[in-house]
Every structure is written in C-alpha cells, then in structure tokens.
Amino acid sequence: MQVEVYSAEPQTDIVHAQATQGKDAGATWQPIPRRPASSGAVSGLASALAKLVGGGCIIRGRADLDVGGPLACAHVSTDSLVPLRVCFAANPHAFASACSAHVVQTRRVLHLPAITSTVLRLWSESQASAYLQQHQIRSLIVAPVPMRTEIRATLVLWREARSPRFKDADAQVLCTLAARLAPILLRARP
C-alpha cells in the first residue's frame, strides 16, 4: 500500500488521501472538513482507514484520561468486525493496550511489520484474547495523535492473515495522517 496524503488547506483542517499503488490505486477519499466531529463521523473515519489499510482500525483516546475516551473501531471484513466490536464493547483499550501506552509515552509511531496474535496477546488485556485467538494478526502500526502539547489519542491499524505486511513507508504515511487528523479528533465527542 502506498498512499499520498496532501493538504493545501491547513487552516481548514481538510485532509485528502489518494492511493497511488495497490488494488485501490487512483481511488481518492473524500476531504474531511473542519467541523465538530460526532462519534458517527469518527466511526466513518475509522471505517475509511480500515479500508485504506485493508484491515482493522481503532481510534481511541488514552486509557488514563477521563476525557477523550475511546472513539471508534472498524474492520474491512465482516467476519472480523463482529468479534472486534464485542472486544471493543467489553474494553475499548484491550486490543494492543501496551502498544498504545508505549506510543503515548514515547510520542513515536510503533511499527511492528511482523507480529503474531500470540505475541500481541501478551501486549493486550484479557478482553482481547478471544479476538486474537480467532484472528491471525500479521502486521501492526500504532500512531500517536498529537493534540496541543500531548498525545491524547492513538490510531491502531493492523492487517491479518494473508494480507501484506506494513512497510516503513506505510508507518510514515499513517503517522502523518494521524497528526493531520488531530484537530478533527480533538473536537470529537466520545
């Protein structure tokens, strides 16, 4: 996957993305305008990101903050989405919780190009075990979403089974995209 992210209108927080390689080459995702984001808008954003990476996406606030809590989860596969929603409802911070905590602490993207569900279970809370037993995670990226002077949310993206692994360029693009989405997510209401 290679995606070109560009924004000519930083004061309006409009984010544009276009796939430049892969099965979605040439596809353009709609601009995201500067408006107060609702939880439905954030869910739509999670769905678009899941489609973009061809896997799963969780957009969530930090577990240690009362405000800016979990926002959305999505997956391109219906077979994966139903158990993901069950996991998310039980504990929105369960999946890859240690990875998100690491990203918040270091303020840097975490790119695990080759990972297994067995290993990821060690870095997740117990509520994610059922999902991780049923789905073979292949590659993971956790990107920080900087808001003002701190990291207040993380973007967790992964691919499963026979999907290609994330490359370093994918991690860089998704980190840039997470930073550009920060103003939108800051206005979101969980």
pTM for this prediction = 0.76
pLDDT band at 15 (very low <50, low <70, confident <90, very high): very low
User: How far is it, in rounded angstroms, from Cα 131 to Cα 153?
Assistant: 22
Residue 12 has pLDDT above 70, yes or no: no
CATH label, 33-163, candidates 3.30.450.40, 3.40.50.300, 3.40.640.10, 3.60.15.10: 3.30.450.40
- The string of pLDDT tens digits covering residues 130-159 is 999 999 999 999 999 887 788 888 999 999
Question: What pLDDT does 71 receive?
Answer: 78
Q: What is the pLDDT of residue 17?
A: 44
Predicted pLDDT of residue 5: 34
Q: 132: buried, middle or exposed (CB in 10 Å: 19+, 13-18, 0-12)? A: buried
Q: Name the token pair of 15.
A: 């984010």
Q: Do residues 26 and 18 make contact, with C-beta atoms less than 8 angstroms apart?
A: yes
Q: What residue ranges do the domains of the chain occupy? A: 33-163
Overall average pLDDT of the 2-31 stretch:
41
Amino acid at 183: P
Q: In this model, does residue 38 exceed pLDDT 70?
A: no
Question: Per-residue pLDDT tens for 53-84?
Answer: 999 999 988 766 655 555 789 999 988 999 99
Confidence at residue 67, expressed as pLDDT on a 0 to 100 scale: 52
pLDDT in tens, 78-137: 889 999 999 988 888 899 999 999 999 999 999 999 999 999 999 999 999 999 999 999
What per-residue confidence (pLDDT) applies to 34? 36
Give the per-residue pLDDT at 63.
66
